[in-house]
């Protein structure tokens, strides 16, 4: 019981849910890359993810729970941390001792959360409507076209790219930080940090590249 209530438990929850979401990002970007490299494979993978019962009824709920736990705990931590210093400093030189990204995780996280709302509306709500409301028959070839068409409007592409930049900033601190929270700080830490920061740059860049690529290469009928 003491574990559930303690400040350290909140660190563990943030770290573990964050690491889980990082693994999901890796899977997501891999499948997205297929939409550039091989539309057929992208269709196959998307159809599998969309209709496999294990993915739909076990992994998808776990993912949604992971997202909710991560951002709810983020809000709880932010509120508690603000309460710990109700009278602030007249002069506070935060940049003297900590990088901007580490001090503003709540803001980068809020942008990513707002993006998730748009992203869910764009793809998840559409998918649920297609399958369960309109009860359309299975069509394993529709995904590539649907995805590319989504990026036709410039406003959506720009919003996605901005969100990926903020996602990168969030990962820049969050990914490496999750190891420290779980108690991992040893001779491997410099390399862990290098890998985590590389991930934080490469993965959002790939997401942004895919969005821009589809915007610049629309399907011509």
Partner 1 sequence: MVDGKPNNEQQTTNNYITMKLYLKIWRQKDASSPGKIVDYTLDGVEGDMSFLEMLDILNEELVSKGEEPVEFDHDCREGICGTCSLQINGEPHGPDRLVTTCQLHMRKFNDGDTIVIEPFRANAFPVIKDLIVDRSAFDRIQQAGGYISVNTSGNTVDANCIPINKHDADEAMDAATCIGCGACVAACKNASAMLFTSAKVSQFALLPQGRVEAVERVQNMVRQMDLEGFGNCTNTGACEVECPKGISLTNIARMNREYLSASLKG
185 binds partner 1 (CB under 8 A): yes
Measured in degrees and rounded to the nearest 5, phi and psi for residue 34 equal -60, -25
217 binds partner 1 (CB under 8 A): no
91 binds partner 1 (CB under 8 A): yes
75 binds partner 1 (CB under 8 A): no
- Give how far Cα 198 sits from Cα of 34, 79, 141, 158, 175, Å: 21, 31, 34, 23, 10
Q: Which of residues 113-172 bind partner 1 (CB under 8 A)?
A: none
195 binds partner 1 (CB under 8 A): no
Which structure tokens are listed for 91?
Answer: 């002069």
Give the number of other CB atoms < 10 A from CB of residue 40: 11
Stretch that binds partner 1, among 79-87, 113-121, 142-150, 209-217 (CB under 8 A): 79-87
H helices present in the chain, as ranges: 2-5, 7-37, 39-51, 53-54, 60-83, 100-103, 105-119, 126-128, 143-150, 154-181, 189-216
Which structure tokens are listed for 78?
Answer: 């932010």
Interface pick for partner 1 out of 180, 192, 197, 209 (rule CB under 8 A)? 180
22 binds partner 1 (CB under 8 A): no
**# residues near partner 1 by CB under 8 A:** 41
Nearer Cβ to partner 1 (46/168): 168
Nearer Cβ to partner 1 (168/207): 168
CB 22 within 8 A of CB 81: no
108 binds partner 1 (CB under 8 A): no
CB 201 within 8 A of CB 167: no
5 binds partner 1 (CB under 8 A): yes
Nearer Cβ to partner 1 (12/123): 12
- Which parts of this chain interact with partner 1 (CB under 8 A)? 2-3, 5-12, 77, 80-81, 83-94, 96-99, 102-103, 105, 173, 177, 180-186
């Amino acid at each position: 019981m003491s574990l559930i209530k303690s400040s350290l438990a909140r660190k563990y929850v943030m770290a573990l849910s964050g690491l889980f979401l990082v693994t999901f990002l890796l899977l997501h970007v891999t499948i997205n890359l297929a939409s550039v490299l091989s539309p057929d494979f992208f269709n196959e993978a998307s159809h599998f993810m969309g209709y496999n019962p294990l993915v739909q009824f076990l992994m998808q709920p776990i993912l949604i729970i992971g997202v909710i736990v991560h951002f709810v705990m983020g809000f709880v931590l932010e509120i508690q941390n603000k309460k710990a210093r109700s009278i602030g400093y007249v002069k506070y030189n935060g940049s003297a001792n900590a990088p901007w990204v580490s001090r503003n995780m709540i803001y980068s996280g809020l942008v990513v959360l707002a993006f998730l709302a748009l992203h869910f509306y764009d793809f998840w709500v559409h998918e649920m409507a297609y399958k369960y409301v309109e009860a359309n028959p299975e069509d394993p070839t529709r995904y590539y076209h649907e995805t590319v068409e989504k990026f036709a409007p410039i406003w959506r592409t720009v919003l996605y790219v901005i969100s990926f930049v903020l996602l990168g900033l969030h990962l820049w601190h969050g990914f490496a930080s999750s190891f420290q929270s779980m108690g991992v700080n040893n001779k491997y830490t410099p390399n862990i940090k290098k890998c985590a920061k590389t991930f934080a740059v490469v993965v959002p860049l790939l997401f942004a590249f895919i969005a821009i690529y589809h915007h610049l290469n629309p399907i011509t009928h």
